[in-house]
């Protein structure tokens, strides 16, 4: 019956596909309930670095509405913005690709529950375009998160089929953009995947202090973020297993890239491994 309903909705409202019930429900709520002043909360985090986990954690607050709550929870894949942000793969990670952020904002507002004060979005390529985002989404708050780049490389190689060298270059490019973001963005809070997973209560405390509206965040539950164990997990650090999966040749190729930019690793508290 649910499949029949979804197909019927998609046929009647093809622009929104299976998301029309969410859009319709939020529209009705905003008509009959007070709409508060909003803060736009963006998770800036590279691919395979814990952004889905962080999005799920933030979504435990009753004050938060995420624009996308399925799969990897990325706003860039919502049907009415996907042609702009996601489908042209050559532009997805191109910082010079022109994006109409006013149009994107208008669409995302339809997916957010506007009766919530915190409107949450996480799409990894946003870390390339954070300044443009801040100029349109006001006020914008940025939760900047990095992960040990060796662990990130293992995920990129395993899940995207990239070489160790290409994965390492991508990881370092992401760190360069994150460094720039921390230097120029207003309303930014920096956390690491390692700190979040090793001391979740401590990181949650930092987030609550930064955005008091998130006082009801709850890290003490299992989350559905994708992981190599392929099951819901409590917050935990999976780096050791991922780094262990890298072969000696993988490590050599990765270190050739990392060693030329070791100061960037140091900036974020990371170090070369086995070199």
Name the phi and psi angles at 146, rounded to 5: -120, 165
The answer to whether residue 18 is domain-embedded is no
76: in domain: yes
The pLDDT profile of the chain, 275 residues, written as one tens digit per residue, is: 556 555 544 444 568 878 888 988 988 998 889 999 999 999 999 999 999 999 999 999 999 999 999 999 999 999 999 999 998 777 899 999 989 999 999 999 999 999 999 999 999 999 999 999 999 999 999 999 999 999 999 999 999 999 999 999 999 999 999 999 999 999 999 999 999 999 999 999 999 999 999 999 999 999 987 676 678 899 999 999 999 999 999 999 999 999 999 999 999 999 999 86
- Is residue 145 in a domain? yes
Is 10 a domain residue? no
Residue 240's SS3 state is: helix
53, 69, 60, 43: which is closest to 213 by C-alpha? 60
Question: Quick one: which of 68, 126, 77, 69 has its CA closest to 99?
Answer: 126
Residue 200 covered by a domain: yes
* Packing angle, helices 200-210 and 51-58, rounded to 10: 60
Does 220 reside within a domain? yes
User: Residue 226 falls within a domain, yes or no?
Assistant: yes
Instruction: Say if 176 falls within a structural domain.
Output: yes
What total number of domains does the chain contain? 1
- Residue 263 CA: distances (Å) to CA of 49, 91, 143, 268: 20, 29, 23, 9
Q: Which domain holds residue 181?
A: 34-267
DSSP 259: G
Domain of residue 218, CATH code = 3.40.50.300
pTM of the model: 0.93
pLDDT tens for 167-179 read 999 999 999 999 9
How far apart CA 271 and CA 4 sit, in angstroms, is 53
């Amino acid at each position: 019956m649910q499949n029949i309903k979804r197909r019927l909705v998609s046929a009647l409202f093809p622009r929104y596909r299976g998301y029309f019930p969410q859009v319709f429900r939020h529209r009705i709520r905003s008509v009959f309930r007070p709409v508060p002043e909003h803060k736009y909360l963006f998770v800036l985090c590279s691919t395979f670095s814990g952004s889905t986990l962080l999005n799920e954690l933030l979504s435990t607050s009753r004050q938060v509405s995420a624009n996308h709550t399925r799969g990897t929870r990325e706003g860039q894949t919502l049907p009415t913005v996907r042609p702009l942000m996601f489908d042209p793969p050559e532009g997805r990670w191109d910082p010079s690709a022109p994006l109409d952020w006013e149009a994107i904002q208008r669409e995302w507002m339809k997916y957010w529950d506007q009766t919530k004060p915190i409107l949450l979005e996480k799409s990894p390529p946003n870390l390339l375009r954070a300044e443009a985002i801040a100029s349109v989404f006001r006020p914008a708050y940025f939760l900047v998160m990095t992960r040990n780049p060796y662990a990130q490389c293992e995920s990129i190689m395993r899940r995207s089929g990239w070489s160790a060298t290409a994965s390492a270059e991508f990881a370092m490019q992401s760190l360069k953009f994150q460094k720039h973001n921390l230097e120029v963005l207003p309303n930014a809070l920096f956390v690491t995947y390692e700190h979040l997973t090793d001391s979740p209560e401590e990181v949650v405390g930092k987030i609550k202090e930064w955005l008091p509206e998130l006082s009801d965040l709850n890290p003490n539950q299992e989350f559905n973020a994708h992981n190599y164990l392929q099951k819901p997990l409590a917050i935990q650090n999976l780096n050791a297993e991922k780094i262990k999966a890298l072969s000696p040749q993988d490590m050599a190729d990765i270190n050739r890239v990392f060693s030329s930019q070791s100061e960037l690793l140091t900036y974020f508290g990371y170090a070369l491994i086995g070199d």
